[in-house]
Amino acid sequence: MSEGLHNFWKILSVPDNVPIVLMILLVSFYSWLAYKQARRNDRLGIYEATQSDKVQVWPYLVKIEFLVTIIILIILTVWSITINAPLEEAANPTLTPNPSKAPWYFLGLQEMLVYFDPWIAGVMLPTFILIGLILVPYIDPNPKGNGYYTFKERPFAIATFSIGFLILWVLLIVLGTFMRGPGWYYFWPWEFWDTHRVVALTNVDLWEGLFGITSKNVDGSFNLLQVALGGILVMGWLVAIPMWVWKKYKENSAVLKQMGALKFGMTVVLFMMMAGLPIKMFLRLAFNIKYIWVFGVGHDLFFNI
Amino acid sequence: MANTNSNMPKKAPWWNPGKFFAVRKEIPIEQRSYTKIYGILAILLFAFTVWAVLDEVMTRRPWKDVQADFKEFKATRLNLEIKKEKAKIDPQVRKDLKKKLAEYEKQMQSDSYLSTLDQITDVEKKVNKAKRDYTFAKANSDETYYYLDEERTQHKDTTSRAKDYREIEKEKVKLLVVVNDLLHQDTVLKAKILPIQKGYKEAQRINDSVYANVIALQRKLEAVDKMPIAVKQTMLVNYEKTNFNNLKMRIDRCETCHMSYADPLFKNDTIVTTDKAEVKAWLKANKYNDADHYTIKKLGTNKDTTIAVVSALFRLHPNVDLLIKGHRLGEPPGVGVLGCTSCHGGQGPSIVSPEFAHGFQEHWAEPLMTGHYVESSCQNCHSGKMDFEGAKWITMGKKLFTDFGCYGCHNMPNYEDVPGQAPSLVNVSKKLTPEWIYQWIKNPKGWGKSARMPNFMLSDDEARQVTAYVVDQSKGGTYSPLAHYGGGGDVARGKETFFDAGCVGCHAIDEYKGDENMRLKEGNSFGPNLNKVGSKVTAEWMYDWLKNPKNYLKHSRMPSLRLTDQEAGDLTAYIMGHTGTNDEVKSSLNVDITNASLIKKGESLIRSYGCFGCHEINGMENESKVSVALSTFGKKTPGELFYGNVDGEILGGFRKEFKKAGLDLGQVEEHAIHDNQDWYTWVVGKMKNSRMYATERIPQRMPNFQMSNQEAFALTVFLKSQTGAFVPTGYADPSKEPVQQALDKGRMFMHWNNCVGCHKIESAGGYVSKFIDDKYAGNENIAYFNPPYLGPEGLRVQEQWLHQFLSGPFKIRPLVKMRMPSFGFSDAEIGTATNYFLGMHKRPFVMTSYDYPTIQSLVPTGKYLVDKLKCVSCHTIGGAGANPAKAPDLENTKKRLRPDWIAMWLAHPDAQMAGTPMTGFWWVNGKMAAADSSAMGGDPMMQIKAVREYLHSIGKDVIPSSTPYATINGSDKYILPNGDYEAALMRAEMPNANMMMSKPAPMKKQSELNTSKKSKSISMK
């Protein structure tokens, strides 16, 4: 235990990781600040900032920003003098480091590789994240919340941000940095990062686990029943549920009316994909579910979700 | 919310931030002042920028201090040397010199001298002025002449111009006269003081030549003063490969701090003494004033021995000739120039701090090789070498690796063709009883401490199964004794024979103890320890074995000593009397070993343990090695090694235990020691107890060699060398050179056959000498008793003779009782030995004929000298002469010795073989001189030649031969240029005098070996 904690302290204090520790503190602090202000605004019902509270960017904001720049410069100077900038061993194609980790800002993506095939975790989801972020200003018609924080007026946006960014991005980075050790195995802080650790990891496809319906037939071809069930589930998640919501609420919900079918469609597909990730993570971690839909064309094109 | 109209609140103290900011918050944003904050931050930023600069140029460049320190230290040393040099000069001489110089200086201060000097100055000033005037006049004249010439060409009126010109010319000549006059005055004045000046200069010259050494040192002192503080580096062009296989330059900056590594000024750098006061005095005398410049250690286990050592930073590299010059360190950049990290490891380019420079940091793959581990680097380039001069542990490690037969299970470069270490088992049931085999397999070291067979930790049942198979497979063996023991034999005589015939060269028995702590196959630890052999084999078998070793084991290394029946009988009686006690193994065989299932189980055990790696076993001739290759083992990281359930306490215990024994395991970067799990502790643990890391799931099959600490340590040094290092082209890998290959093969051969047990060859060997010296201490002829030194063999004997001798040896030296055994070497083996002897002296690998017609005219003089010098008081000629004969018969020299060797040998025997009893008749007071004033006009060279020709004239034309033990198979592949008299005559020429007077070319100069593409024979002309 103490050896493990010692190990954990070593990991925390590696010059590489110190900024990530700082990131935890900063992100927590600013999230807390924003939530606090949002709650206060909601309680007081003050959503429109008064004119008197506003000042010009130039010079009042720029002045402070410049000040912060100097502070950052000072911190960086002292930081670089006092640590020796860490270099790892020379790259060696025959000897990869264990664990092999992506740059820290991609560790969330790397974590997704545990739950999805690379084409989803490494290609499709990042593409959707980028496209989604670009689309945000266009699919969000809500003018409220400019210049102040609020829960009441933007519940969906804040919830999506909190789950999507704070949990699925930042938290996974933290997890990937501090909890994923050799073999990309999960290590608790009190556990020593043992290169030789053995973990029982066996998975089963969803339908086989539930009803014994195998993904493939004995001869290696796809089990059509499974393909159909998986297809129904995935399509239901991405298409049927949104359509049902749209049909049920479009008359009553001002928000839905305002969005219109196109914006709603884009938003909801992006949202369902985002929400799908933690569900798949849960299925994997709790029930060892490997795929919920195994499907492919020929020998090269696989479509395993 | 801010109120733009509110009054300015009172100022809050800045040291109370809570209040300060609360108050500040009340000020409207537009009115808040940032001046002070900006001011403070600007000052801070400036301060930290200054710090960054200082950090860069000072903190991160500690070598600047080191260099400054070195300059000061070197100046101290130089001043000390200057003082010593001055003290060497005779005080009277110094006084005289000083007096003479003072005399001249006095004269040079006299009024007349000084006034003359003043006059000279005056005159020279005038000369300068006059010369200038003349130059102006000349230029003027030239210009006027030019215009005059122009006017003439253009047919103009030249009257006035011509007049001008004439006047200017007149003026010019006048000025020239003045100049010459003044110059004359100058010469006259100078002549007046010339003698004084000349005398002074001469006195100075004499002074300088007397003080030459001092002046040279003073120059060095000036150079030290001027030496810039700068990074010094060696560039190793195309030295290494990146992990992506691209060649790259390596840069070593070690010499930036280790500045004295090749500076002979720092050679007296240690003192070993038991007296602390002596150490103090030594430090004082050598000006070691700064405690950073030396360390005082206790030496080894003897706590009283104190040793003061100059710090590694400012000391001379040991063995500079071989290790620095031989590896071309410090030469200008170019392919082939090695650096420090080539052998020592470490992070060459880094000079930021000792930790970084030495590579003791995370992720630096090759940190400094500490302690004896630096020796393992030799192996990178000299992979075929057996003996490394001055590198004891890698040499022993390599020999142990060979002698333990590690290559039987592990693939290893250079060991592809080496046969297994252990005896063949194809006839084993004719030699040993199943009971003996069983208890031996159970615990070899229990039977004899010097056993090299490892313990396979077999259970009783497993040992029975293995025994069953071993006995079963030997049923096909075809051995039947050739000689039969008739019983009897005299034990006392047997003991004498054991010593005199030379058995003691290879076997330990009674008082001739082998080394149980370092089980090298060398000296009398080579063969089995015979103290218990009487309870192992039968007398019948032993007798036949002694008479015909190759009858029982076709490829045995046991040679025949050409024993008579009586000798063999005596020896059998003596050896078989050693039965020892046998109580180590409690359980016994107790089963029917002919049971088929038992045999089958035994077979599968043998296959899985790979016994055939060392033993020849019927039906298992083509098995492959059972364990992993070790060619890159030295590079394994702790993560690649399996520690099983062994905890850090045990591993750390090894580190401590070895340190206590003076065997420091390699230093590891601090981060790397997780629970002491590092490469060194892993290997040491494995060597001490090979099954240590086994777990339920991961069984281990490596048998336990039960090594001593020294053995384990030597092997770690050798294993550390297995890096699969890349040796780039141009950085000679000497092992690829034919000469080096011959030497490497030869050294292996000499080790493999234990030639070094009796003969001293290069720096090692001749282990029987200590027994001979003990036994015959005080004997007047003891100098003649030792088997001959073979260092100069390649210079000494004719190749044909050597071939004949090694095929069937015979007695040469009458007083050497030990017999050169009949090994039954094949032609190829004799070739290996011959090439080795030739290669040592860079002679061509050919068999030459040394036949040449005797120069008859010299024979009478030669005979006269041989008689006069009384050669026959030690030697014999055709059996007649000295009685008892001490030295070889001279009739055999013609076919045995090379003509040029005879000359060299006669001229200066001691140079060829230090301590030889042969008298150097032509060597007087350190140089060659005539042994007889009258013969050949007193020319020593001609006298030597005459003696040689006489020996040639009386020489026998056949090589004596005993019955060869083994028939030589195959045709003789050497070309014998018989009848080539011209070539032979050239060979009979005398070597040049320098060669005759000097020692043979030393083997040490590796650089020479590397560069000589074609080895040349020496002194053929």
The predicted structure's pLDDT at residue B939? 85
Q: CA-CA distances (angstroms) from residue B693 to A148, B459, B641, B642?
A: 64, 19, 10, 7
Mutate to test the interface with B, among A16, A74, A83, A192 (most CBs of B within 10 A): A74
- B295 pairs with which residues across the strands? B309
In this complex, which of B38, B44, B51 lies closest to A81 when CB atoms are compared?
B51
Percent of chain B whose pLDDT exceeds 70: 91
Q: What does the pLDDT read at residue B1006?
A: 39
Verify whether the Cβ–Cβ distance B41 to A89 is below 8 Å: no
Q: Is B754 left (phi over 0), alpha (psi -120 to 50) or beta?
A: left
Q: Is the CB of A53 less than 8 angstroms away from the CB of B49? A: no
Residue B781 phi, psi (nearest 5)? -100, 20
Give the minimum alpha-carbon distance from A215 to chain B in angstroms, rounded to a whole number.
34
pLDDT at A50: 55
B45 φ/ψ angles, rounded to the nearest 5 degrees? -60, -40
Q: Give pLDDT, residue B992.
A: 60
Cross-chain Cβ contact A67/B37 below 8 Å? yes
Spell out which residues of chain A touch residue B38, defining contact as CB-CB under 8 Å.
Answer: 67, 70
CB B615 within 8 A of CB B425: yes
pLDDT value of position A266 = 93
The model's pLDDT over B429-454, given as tens digits with 9 standing for 90+, comes to 999 999 999 989 998 888 888 889 99
B positions 230-249 inside 8 Å of A (CB): 242-244
Residue-wise pLDDT for B528-580, tens only, equals: 999 889 889 999 999 999 998 888 988 888 998 988 899 999 999 999 999 88
Q: Is B843 exposed, middle or buried (0-12, 13-18, 19+ CB in 10 A)?
A: buried
Q: Which two tokens stand for residue A73?
A: 């410069």
Interface of A with B (CB under 8 A): 3, 50, 52-53, 55, 60, 63-64, 67, 70-71, 73-74, 77-78, 80-81, 84, 87-95, 98, 195-196
B405 with B702: CB under 8 angstroms? no
Q: What is the pLDDT of residue B998?
A: 55
- For residues B747 and B322, give the distance between their C-alpha atoms in angstroms, rounded to a whole number: 20
ipTM value of the model?
0.80
pLDDT band at B980 (very low <50, low <70, confident <90, very high): very low
Say whether A89 and B244 touch across the interface (CB within 8 A). Answer: no
A146 CA to chain B: closest CA distance, Å? 19
How far apart, in whole angstroms, are the C-alpha atoms of residue B167 and residue B175? 13
Q: Which of A74, A90, A98 sits opposite B45 (nearest CB)?
A: A74
Contact B2 A93 (CB under 8 A): no
Please answer whether residues B455 and B444 qualify as being in contact, where contact means their C-beta atoms are separated by less than 8 angstroms. Answer: yes
Question: Nearest-CA neighbor of B601 among B696, B722, B514, B472?
Answer: B472
* pLDDT recorded at residue B1: 39
Return the biggest CA–CA distance within chain B. 148
Please provide the DSSP assignment of B940-980 as one string: HHHHHHHHHHHHHHH--SS---PPPSSPPPS---S---TT-
Distance from CA of B13 to the nearest CA of A (A): 21
B729 pLDDT above the threshold of 80: no
Higher pLDDT, B1016 or A83: A83
CB interface of B with A, residues 11-70, below 8 Å: 29-30, 34, 37-38, 41-42, 44-45, 48-49, 51-52, 55
Calpha distance B199→B102 (Å, rounded): 12
> For position B114, what pLDDT does the model report?
93
Give me the mean pLDDT over the B475-484 stretch.
87
Contact A77 B4 (CB under 8 A): no
Best mutation target among A13, A94, A195 (most B Cβ atoms within 10 Å) is A195
Looking at chain A, which residue has its C-alpha nearest residue B53? A81
- Closest CA–CA distance from residue B45 to any residue of chain A (Å): 6
| pLDDT tens sequence across B146-169 | 999 999 999 988 899 999 999 999
Measure B722 CA to nearest chain A CA, in Å: 18
- CA–CA gap between residue A165 and residue B840 (Å, rounded): 76
CB B813 within 8 A of CB B887: yes
| CB–CB contact A88 B364 (8 Å) | no
Residues B664, B656: Cα–Cα separation, whole Å: 9
Q: Tell me what pLDDT residue A1 has.
A: 54
Residues B924, B859: contact at Cβ < 8 Å? no
> Is residue A188 exposed (0-12), middle (13-18) or buried (19+ Cβ within 10 Å)?
exposed
What's residue B976's pLDDT? 31
pTM for the predicted model, two decimal places: 0.80
Residues in A closer than 8 angstroms to B49, CB to CB, are 77
Helix (H, G, I), strand (E, B) or coil at B200: helix
Task: Give B1021's pLDDT tier (boundaries 50, 70, 90).
Answer: very low
What angle, rounded to 10 degrees, do the helices at A125-139 and A254-287 form? Answer: 160
Report the distance separating Cα B72 and Cα B58, nearest Å. 19
Q: Is B56 helix (H, G, I), strand (E, B) or coil?
A: helix
Lowest mean pLDDT among B336-340, B413-417, B809-813: B413-417
Residue B987, pLDDT above cutoff 60: no
Yes or no, beta carbons of A55 and B49 under 8 Å apart:
no
Comparing C-alpha atoms, which of B345, B395, B318 is closest to residue B668?
B345
Nearest to A55 among B29, B41, B243 (CB): B29
pLDDT tens per residue, range B72-114: 999 998 999 999 999 999 999 999 999 999 999 999 999 999 9
The encoded tokens of residue B589 equal 């065989």
Give the pLDDT mean for B848-862.
Answer: 86
Give the gap in angstroms from C-alpha A93 to the nearest C-alpha of chain B.
7
pLDDT tens, position by position, B380-396: 888 877 888 889 999 99
pLDDT at B1004: 38
pLDDT at B965 over 50: no
Inter-chain CB proximity A67 and B44 less than 8 Å: no
- pLDDT tens for residues B597-643? 999 999 999 999 999 999 999 888 888 899 999 999 999 988 888 88
Work out the end-to-end distance of chain A between its first and last CA atoms, rounded to an integer number of angstroms.
38
Residue whose C-alpha is closest to residue B203's, from B117, B88, B96: B96
Cα nearest neighbour of A76 on chain B: B48
SS3 B308: strand
Q: Residue B811 and residue B48: Cα distance in Å, rounded?
A: 87
Tell me what pLDDT residue B973 has.
31
The reply to whether residue B243 touches residue A73, judged by beta carbons under 8 angstroms, is no
Using a CB-CB distance cutoff of 8 angstroms, which residues of chain B are in contact with residue A80?
Answer: 52
**What residues contact residue B667 under an 8 Å CB cut-off, 6+ apart?**
B360, B367, B368, B370, B371
pLDDT higher than threshold 90 for residue B927: no
| pLDDT for B969 beyond 80 | no
The pLDDT confidence band at residue B966, using thresholds 50, 70 and 90, is very low
Helix, strand or coil, per DSSP, at residue A204? strand
Is B564 an 8 Å CB contact of chain A? Answer: no
pLDDT at residue B1013, as a whole number: 37
Q: Residue for token digits 């195995």?
A: A185
Residue B1011: pLDDT over 70: no
For residue B1015, pLDDT beyond 60: no
* CA–CA min distance B36, chain A (Å): 11
**Minimal CA separation from A281 to chain B, in Å:** 31
Q: Spell out, as residue ranges, where chain A has pLDDT lower than 70.
A: 1, 48-53
- Spell out the residues 6+ positions from residue A205 whose beta carbon is closer than 8 angstroms to its own: A214, A215, A226, A289, A290, A291, A292, A294
Instruction: Tell me what pLDDT residue B583 has.
Output: 59
Is 80 exceeded by the pLDDT of residue B3? no
User: Which residues, other chains included, contact B701 with Cβ-Cβ below 8 Å and sequence gap of 6+?
Assistant: B608, B609, B610, B626, B627
Asked if B790 and B837 count as a contact pair (C-beta separation under 8 A), the reply is yes
Interval B464-470 mean pLDDT: 94
Give the pLDDT of residue B582: 62
What pLDDT is attached to residue A48? 67
| Long-range contacts of B212-215, Cβ-Cβ distance < 8 Å, separation of 24 or more | B213/B85, B213/B88, B214/B82, B214/B85, B214/B86
**Number of residue pairs across A and B with CB atoms under 8 Å?**
57
Following DSSP, what letter does each residue of B809-848 receive, concatenated?
----STT--SPPPB----HHHHHHHHHHHHHHTT--SS--
Which whole number is the average pLDDT over B175-182? 93
Query: Is there a contact between B75 and B221 (Cβ–Cβ < 8 Å)?
Result: yes
Distance CA A169, CA A159 (A): 14
B731-760 pLDDT per residue, tens: 866 667 788 888 888 888 898 999 999 999
Which stretches does DSSP call E strand in A173-244?
A: none
User: Cα(B344)–Cα(B346) distance, rounded to whole angstroms?
Assistant: 7
Contact B582, B440 (CB under 8 A): no
Mean pLDDT calculated for residue range B917-941: 86
Name the B residues in 184-213 with CB < 8 Å from any A CB: none
Measured between beta carbons, which residues in chain B are less than 8 angstroms from residue A91?
243-244
The per-residue pLDDT for range B335-376, each reduced to its tens digit, is 888 999 999 999 999 999 998 999 988 788 889 999 899 999
Q: Whole-number mean pLDDT of chain B? A: 85
Torsion angle defined by CA atoms of residues A97, A103, A109 and A113, in that order, rounded to the nearest 10 degrees: -10
pLDDT value at B1005 more than 60: no
Residue B10 confidence class, pLDDT cut points 50, 70, 90: low
Would you state the pLDDT for residue B214?
94
Measure the CA–CA gap between B833 and B830, rounded to whole angstroms.
5
Both tokens assigned to B510: 């009674």
Residue-wise pLDDT tens digits, B818-845: 999 988 888 888 888 999 999 888 888 8
Q: b/e per residue, B272-289, with b = 16+ CB within 10 A?
A: ebeeeeebeebbeebebe
* pLDDT for position B985: 46
Q: Which residues of B touch A87 (CB under 8 A)?
A: 363
In this prediction, residue A89 carries a pLDDT of: 80
What is the rounded (10 degree) CA torsion for A102, A105, A109, A112?
90
Chain B neighbors of A67, CB-CB under 8 A: 34, 37-38, 41
Give B-chain residues touching A93 at CB under 8 angstroms: 243-244
pLDDT digits (tens, 9 = 90+) for B255-306: 999 999 999 888 877 888 777 888 888 888 888 888 878 888 776 555 667 7
Which of B29, B41, B363 is closest, CB to CB, to A88?
B363
Average pLDDT over residues B973-999: 47
Distance from CA of A279 to the nearest CA of B (A): 36
DSSP state of B882: S
Task: Test A90 with B242 for CB contact under 8 angstroms.
Answer: yes
